Structure 1
Amino acid sequence: MADMNGSGISRRFLLGAFAATAVVAAPTYSSAAGFLRGSGDIRKLKMYSGRTGERLDMIYWIDGDYIKDAVKEINHFMRDWRTDQIKSIDLRTLDIMAASHNLLDVSEPYLMLSGYRSPQTNAMLRSRSRGVAKNSLHMKGQAADLRLGSRSVNQIAKAALACHSGGVGRYSRSNFVHMDCGVVRTWGA
């Protein structure tokens, strides 16, 4: 990557330095929240669903408080589109998604492939694929499968891993990244 203004400091270096500083400075329950502190005291999600055609571009947190109506709308957006069932999405997952998006420095919305999954949907998907966990965190509203057209699976996964706040799965063949607020772990290639 080219140096910025001939200063010898690359954008990649600055992002890495920011990430290292933010992780050390984040005293909250989720390191992801630390990544969002410097963003003007707001947290925002921008997504669309290819399954429903719905779009979401929403501030869901301002000055230390989650916005109840915004979170409710996000829960609806991330519902199981097959059964139309809604579950409250864990706020830590939303924070990880937002922090990762900020680190990627994109204006493009996430393509959400999967948010909440009902037990029926999870069982159906599990019968078709070995990659679906029996006790998936999707069924608890604690996970999302996401894609960006302008970023690779590895780039998205690295941003999510920088949050040190949950599970990150790389699904390169299917071109998406799984993010959750469970135990810190990683898998896939």
Structure 2
Amino acid sequence: MTDFSSLSMTRRALLGAFAATAVSAAPTYTKAAGFLRGGGDIRRIKMMSPRTGERIDTIYWIEGEYIKDAVREITAFMRDWRTNDIHNIDLRTIDIMAASHNLLDVNEPYMLLSGYRSPKTNAMLRRRSSGVAKNSRHLRGQAADLRLNSRSVSQMYRAALSCKGGGVGRYSSSNFVHMDCGPVRSWGR
């Protein structure tokens, strides 16, 4: 089991010191998508995996710049846990997840149910369920299935929808929300 939260303590300490001074700075939106204008100068993502027991809590963007080491950590964390295959996670998906989390005003980490899916995993899931797309955005590292214990599926769904950044699916009976960076659309109950 790997705990990604302890991999970069020196980098985090430096970022923390920088973040303390950057919070008071006037917002800049260089390279920020329009739906994230309320996201602030610092973007952070917190997740845990019920499958692997891993956790991640990282600042991945400061004042218009993605932090490469943090993005690599997120990509490794969001790997296909069944096959251990890693694929680059689209930064837009990470931004949608972070913006939605901020809107929910919660400190609890997301529970990541599915991030990147290998073709083998996606095919297996398609055999088990009619709800798995043949050309799923999970195959391209452009989607995440997420849950929060302290917020309902409806609350998460509404927060993600308000970002207007991609696809949002509500899966109330399975207690998760799908977020992706594809065309803006929504589905589910």
TM-score of the pair, normalised by structure 1: 0.83
In the alignment, the residues of structure 2 paired with residue 44 and residue 149 of structure 1 have an alpha-carbon distance, to the nearest angstrom, of: 19
Residue 30 (str. 1) matches residue 11 (str. 2): no
In the alignment, the residues of structure 2 paired with residue 124 and residue 183 of structure 1 have an alpha-carbon distance, to the nearest angstrom, of: 26
DSSP 3-state at the match of 1:173: helix
Cα deviations by residue, 1:94-141 (Å, 9 ceiling, x for unpaired): 000000000000000000000000011000000000110000000000
In the alignment, the residues of structure 1 paired with residue 152 and residue 120 of structure 2 have an alpha-carbon distance, to the nearest angstrom, of: 31
Return 5+ residue gaps in structure 1 as ranges: 1-25
* Equivalent AA in structure 1 for residue 136 of structure 2: S
In the alignment, the residues of structure 2 paired with residue 153 and residue 35 of structure 1 have an alpha-carbon distance, to the nearest angstrom, of: 22
1:4-15 alignment runs, 5 A limit: none
1:126-137 alignment runs, 5 A limit: 126-137=126-137
**Contact 2:32/2:64, CA 8 A, preserved across alignment:** no
In the alignment, the residues of structure 1 paired with residue 145 and residue 120 of structure 2 have an alpha-carbon distance, to the nearest angstrom, of: 18
**Contact 1:147/1:153, CA 8 A, preserved across alignment:** yes
1:65-144 alignment runs, 5 A limit: 65-144=65-144
**Contact 1:31/1:164, CA 8 A, preserved across alignment:** no
State the 1:27 CA deviation.
9.0
* Equivalent AA in structure 1 for residue 181 of structure 2: C
What residue in structure 2 maps to residue 172 of structure 1? 172
Instruction: Using the aligned pairs only, state the percent identity.
Output: 70
State the 1:35 CA deviation.
2.7
* Equivalent AA in structure 1 for residue 106 of structure 2: V
In the alignment, the residues of structure 1 paired with residue 76 and residue 154 of structure 2 have an alpha-carbon distance, to the nearest angstrom, of: 29
Report the number of matched residues: 161
TM-score of the pair, normalised by structure 2: 0.83
State the 1:30 CA deviation.
3.0
State the 1:33 CA deviation.
2.5
**Contact 1:143/1:179, CA 8 A, preserved across alignment:** yes
In the alignment, the residues of structure 2 paired with residue 129 and residue 89 of structure 1 have an alpha-carbon distance, to the nearest angstrom, of: 24
DSSP 3-state at the match of 1:108: coil
Give the superposed CA RMSD.
1.3
* Equivalent AA in structure 1 for residue 37 of structure 2: G
In the alignment, the residues of structure 2 paired with residue 141 and residue 74 of structure 1 have an alpha-carbon distance, to the nearest angstrom, of: 11
When residues 28 and 65 of structure 1 are mapped into structure 2, their CA distance, relative to the original with a 3 A threshold, is closer
What residue in structure 2 maps to residue 4 of structure 1? none
Return 5+ residue gaps in structure 2 as ranges: 1-28
